[in-house]
Structure 1
């Protein structure tokens, strides 16, 4: 933290101007123009869309990359603002980039399950990616819960998968790995059926509150301390506004998928036990034998390092790497060091594992 005395405006007028700026943001909410990398929607199913990014950069690699994000929060965190967008960076580096946006589920989607997403949506999107790119395989890039879903897809549909890249993807939900989530999701305190029966879809605000309570001081106080620091030091507010918008922009979580996520993953840890079955098809992670890069953050309290590292002992891949960054769940992607650490690591690994154009 810089010397706060030097950041305090010398005139009352300037102080009031900056105070008004901060008060406006705090009261009205963050306004930011996010997800600006040029893209085309090339496929839709129900609320979901598949984006194909087109920055105009020369394609250096033939193997397409499809990003799968979680069912909570919005995928534009990967395309936050120009200059702070992993999608923009990889596109400009010559990769053919695609991403699924799950959209906003309505009341009619409360019965959506992981079977629907992993067996129907992701395979169809993948086929569209390969048809568009003119290839017979692709790289699957899953982030957070999207990484868990990607691992399940990779176990069930290995035929056209060239590479698997997982970013902070929880695999092992053993209680000793969960931190406070072990308490929050314990059967004694969290009745997923009761919530799903009451709400249908779980409100995004409820999911967000649960995540923020993992670090309440940082998330509720630290966020606005950072805001005031930036305002009084005349620093750009663009990234702060975009991140604050994203944090408060969570869609509802389909009720039936929420039941599965809590019961079968957090409370029963069935994935690592080989007990997850989707429409009678058992998810056996040992069927994954493609090159794998799994990345975790030391400061990540949403997906801890042991949760993510577990996949390394479950897959059959010979070419596999586990990479740990000194960052948190989102900070490793959009933080001040992301451009020096995560982004070049992903670019280099993809370059080594993609066919040239």
Structure 2
């Protein structure tokens, strides 16, 4: 029985499909034992039920994974008397420096050199009031403590690099929670605001906290009020849904030029987010920009899965996503060649799809563009710190009960990567300053929740993150492995300088893994803001360089040295690259049969 029929059965009976355990989720001998031993099956179900409830309490973090890395570090530190001696000396010298600093500042001198300056990107103590007593004392004590713990959690002989980064990350999160900037009596900005407003900021903050707690306890979506609404002032580029299956709606956008390039452009967004990040307001819509440059644009809009979709796997996304879209585009336009672009997880899916097409001599792709995309996960940033067998099994058990990973569980992990900016800074603004941020279109999009199906997310974590099968040529499509080295089509790849989700040096690995000419762009901004970087966006720049297969490989830092720096948006650079790989303009192709107007129905699913 196929997946769609299974989902239909679950809907008809009103009982959510709880998928069978994944083959990878348990050792083979345990799986075989469970098949023949009812008691073992019951025991396994009890274990899953218990771990799924524990996962909800811990926000999806495996206690075993955390205890393992902390244990590794603490045991090795305990048997390192030399390291302990150095830490003791550092504590004593730091205390002496701190005492000197307090004494000199008490004399009223304004030219006292601090014991330790804040990091360049640490904006918590940037206000001038932090340089005055007693707040300078709070700030310096915190920074000295932070520096000491950084030394304590690094360079401990015998601790693996992965565990060292993980325990350092854990300690950093704990320290960030007790920063003096987080408390009203030790934050001069909050005290000044409270004095100026006679405490009304704290009253508003209590109301904000009450509202947030009510939403959390009542299980309502944590979506702030917004002036941006899909189909009204975001995702408004004219178009039609011309194809639909259980997983996607395919949008064809209306042409805006008399002639268009003969090769249509298919965009594959990530299903971890809704597609309209690339069609926000008209002034920063990539889709609108592309149609104005003479391209026939098609966009995949993913269905927001529920518990009935728990058994959908990564290959379902490939077949019912880009492959189904390519077939539909050819049927509608008659084009022999199609440009394809993928964003984040959508780019990873597009890459493995393109590799499978190359293996099978399917040459329909004219080019491939990747936005903030990883295909090799060996250096996938801090998201990799706890992606191990314990953590993946823990997430599987949490998803097993509900059938999916919801948006809140995902967003929490991403927020931890930038806790200063995304967690504590927000708490200061919302609850201490009493200021709710005014949402822009990107912030409103970011609050528009999506989910990840159980099976697909488990396969993604195990096969791509944990085992790195795509980069090593072990990922199977149709029962046979695919290799990125089979790719010969032109590739345009974009990395962003401050990306915490797909670090640019990880995205850069596409250059070494394929036999294609790769034009790589490194642009200013983060995972989203760097991609949504329309012409006219202030203070933007990018580096660009093309490497051919015959060229000597350049490591990322060397590449950056030789790459040409340009000011402004990278979008015109991409369009010019596409144009050299497109045919002569022709009359726009016919529009497909309209199922409904854009933005469609799937994007509106809660």
What TM-score results when the alignment is normalised by the length of structure 2? Answer: 0.51
Task: Give 1 or 2: higher helix fraction.
Answer: 2
Q: Is the contact made by 1:139 and 1:164 (CA closer than 8 Å) also made in structure 2?
A: yes
1:348 lines up with 2:581 in the alignment = no
1:329 lines up with 2:527 in the alignment = yes
SS at match of 2:519: strand
Query: What is the CA–CA distance in structure 1 between the aligned matches of 2:412 and 2:455, rounded to whole Å?
Result: 20
Task: Please name the residue that 2:376 is paired with.
Answer: 172
Task: Please name the residue that 2:290 is paired with.
Answer: 90
Query: What is the CA–CA distance in structure 1 between the aligned matches of 2:288 and 2:262, rounded to whole Å?
Result: 17
Task: Please name the residue that 2:422 is paired with.
Answer: 219
Instruction: Please report how far the alpha carbon of residue 286 of structure 1 lies from its aligned counterpart in structure 2 after TM superposition.
Output: 1.3
User: Given the alignment, which residue of 25, 36, 39 partners 2:239?
Assistant: 39
Q: Is the contact made by 1:72 and 1:251 (CA closer than 8 Å) also made in structure 2?
A: yes
Query: What is the CA–CA distance in structure 2 between the aligned matches of 1:278 and 1:92, rounded to whole Å?
Result: 37
1:251 lines up with 2:442 in the alignment = no
Which ranges of structure 1 fall in alignment gaps of 5 or more residues?
Answer: none
Query: What is the CA–CA distance in structure 2 between the aligned matches of 1:286 and 1:140, rounded to whole Å?
Result: 18
Aligned residue runs from structure 1 range 21-40, under 5 A: 29-31=224-226, 32-33=228-229, 34-40=234-240
The verdict on how the C-alpha distance between 1:343 and 1:223 changes in structure 2, with shifts beyond 3 A counting, is farther
Query: What is the CA–CA distance in structure 1 between the aligned matches of 2:429 and 2:258, rounded to whole Å?
Result: 38
Instruction: Please report how far the alpha carbon of residue 75 of structure 1 lies from its aligned counterpart in structure 2 after TM superposition.
Output: 0.9
Instruction: Please report how far the alpha carbon of residue 356 of structure 1 lies from its aligned counterpart in structure 2 after TM superposition.
Output: 2.3
What number of residue pairs does the alignment pair up?
337
Q: Is the contact made by 1:30 and 1:242 (CA closer than 8 Å) also made in structure 2?
A: no
SS at match of 1:189: helix
Task: Please name the residue that 2:267 is paired with.
Answer: 67
Instruction: Please report how far the alpha carbon of residue 116 of structure 1 lies from its aligned counterpart in structure 2 after TM superposition.
Output: 0.9
Q: Is the contact made by 1:208 and 1:248 (CA closer than 8 Å) also made in structure 2?
A: no
Instruction: Please report how far the alpha carbon of residue 219 of structure 1 lies from its aligned counterpart in structure 2 after TM superposition.
Output: 1.7
1:163 lines up with 2:350 in the alignment = no
Instruction: Please report how far the alpha carbon of residue 221 of structure 1 lies from its aligned counterpart in structure 2 after TM superposition.
Output: 4.8
Query: What is the CA–CA distance in structure 2 between the aligned matches of 1:193 and 1:178, rounded to whole Å?
Result: 20
SS at match of 2:417: coil
The verdict on how the C-alpha distance between 1:101 and 1:223 changes in structure 2, with shifts beyond 3 A counting, is farther
Structure 1 runs (4+) deviating above 4 angstroms are 221-227
Instruction: Please report how far the alpha carbon of residue 223 of structure 1 lies from its aligned counterpart in structure 2 after TM superposition.
Output: 6.0
Task: Please name the residue that 2:102 is paired with.
Answer: none
User: Given the alignment, which residue of 491, 508, 512 partners 1:313?
Assistant: 512
The verdict on how the C-alpha distance between 1:88 and 1:222 changes in structure 2, with shifts beyond 3 A counting, is farther
Instruction: Please report how far the alpha carbon of residue 331 of structure 1 lies from its aligned counterpart in structure 2 after TM superposition.
Output: 1.0
Q: Is the contact made by 1:61 and 1:355 (CA closer than 8 Å) also made in structure 2?
A: yes
RMSD, matched Cα: 3.1
Which ranges of structure 2 fall in alignment gaps of 5 or more residues?
Answer: 1-122, 129-188, 213-222, 542-567, 586-606
Instruction: Please report how far the alpha carbon of residue 59 of structure 1 lies from its aligned counterpart in structure 2 after TM superposition.
Output: 3.5
The verdict on how the C-alpha distance between 1:82 and 1:225 changes in structure 2, with shifts beyond 3 A counting, is farther
Task: Please name the residue that 1:113 is paired with.
Answer: 313
Compare 198-207 and 65-74 and name the one that shifted more. 198-207
Deviations 1:260-303 (A, max 9, x none): 11111111111111111123031211111111111111211101
Instruction: Please report how far the alpha carbon of residue 195 of structure 1 lies from its aligned counterpart in structure 2 after TM superposition.
Output: 2.3
SS at match of 1:331: coil
1:272 lines up with 2:471 in the alignment = yes
Query: What is the CA–CA distance in structure 2 between the aligned matches of 1:250 and 1:275, rounded to whole Å?
Result: 33
